[in-house]
Structure 1
Amino acid sequence: MSRTQRGLAAGALLLAALLAGCQSEPMGGPLALQIEAHEPVAALQRINEAGVRCWVRSSDAAFQDLHLVPELDTSVGRPRLLLLRRGKAEGLPVLVIEAAGSPVTLTTYGPLASTRTGGRVNADIKRWSSGTPSCRG
């Protein structure tokens, strides 16, 4: 490898490292969080209210093509919130937020969970379930 090629390769590596450092939000992953709540439905209602306000009704580009569907009827199964693509109500959710147990444990899963938006969702859920209703932490 010539001196010029080595210099270009080193420059490319430096540029890649700098761009990686510019990412403002961490990558997500599935969440399993035990919270202070009396019942799973009440915990999800709080997250649903904040999610509608901060994700769905905001002008945030990360959520502009998504809508939030609450499934809180516990006679059918575990209560959960579904994030779905707009116009695809019958499609698979991109993210599921589920609550169960006593003490209540919140879990998230789905393809959106492992993205940067999933990292933001997890941070929002942690903040909202601790009683802080703000849209940004």
Structure 2
Amino acid sequence: MLGLSVLGLSLLAAGCQAGPSGPGSMSAPGKSAALKTMEHIALAVQSCWFASRDPAFKPYRMADELNSFSGRPRILLVPARNPEARPLLVVQAEGDPAKVDAFGPLMGDKLGNRAAADLRRWTAGSKACA
């Protein structure tokens, strides 16, 4: 009887030490390439466009949607005075390696070329502002 108790405790201890197994495990999966890329871009946008008080981006506000269940984390630029309005710029990524897309009315105005250049640089891994 003692042998079974020791065996049961050994199995119980081994079960507690084992890592997650299978798709039903409750542990958080690793970050996707798309999420890592969008986190990097979001930090650069915040730092270079907003925290630096860049006058070109003063009329806008960033809203992030990085915890996307669609597999496409994204950030939005919305009017600063009307954050509930339709986004003027959407930047999203998907896949591995991450493919970044940017679209919206802001891409068609004078600020669009600068935004595109910044996003290309940040997508490549740079942290540098313009």
The answer, yes or no, to whether TM exceeds 0.5 is yes
Q: CA RMSD in A?
A: 1.4
1:43 to 37, 49, 57: 37
C-alpha separation between the residues in 1 aligned to 2:121 and 2:71? 26
TM-score calculated relative to the size of structure 1: 0.67
Tell me which residue corresponds to 1:53. Answer: 47
More relative contact order, 1 or 2 (CA 8 Å, 6+ apart): 1
Match of 1:133 among 113, 116, 127: 127
The alignment's TM-score, normalised by the length of structure 2, stands at: 0.70
What are the ranges of 5 or more consecutive residues in structure 1 without an aligned counterpart? 1-37
For 1:85, the aligned partner's letter is P
- Structure 1 residues 102 and 76: CA distance shift in structure 2, 3 A: closer
SS at match of 2:112: helix
Count of residues paired in the alignment? 99
CA distance in 1, matches of 2:61, 2:99: 23
Distance 1:59 1:75 in 2: 32
Q: SS of 1:91's equivalent?
A: coil
Percent identity for Structure 1 against Structure 2:
34
Deviation at 1:123, TM superposition (A): 0.5
What displacement does 1:135 show?
0.6
Q: Where does residue 106 of structure 2 map in the other structure?
A: 112
2:92 aligns with 98
**Aligned counterparts, 1:71-82, within 5 A:** 71-76=65-70, 78-82=72-76
Amino acid at match of 2:68: T
Pairwise CA distance, 1:115: 1.8
CA contact (8 A) 2:44 2:129 kept: yes
Q: Please, which runs of 5 or more residues in structure 2 have no aligned partner?
A: 1-31
For 1:77 and 1:135, the matched residues in 2 are separated by: 27
Mapped partners of 1:51, 1:113: distance in 2: 15
Between the aligned partners of 1:82 and 1:90, the Cα distance in structure 2 is 11
Aligned equivalents of 2:120, 2:106: Cα separation in 1: 17
- State whether structure 2 residue 86 is matched by structure 1 residue 62: no
Which secondary structure does the structure 1 equivalent of 2:111 belong to?
Answer: helix
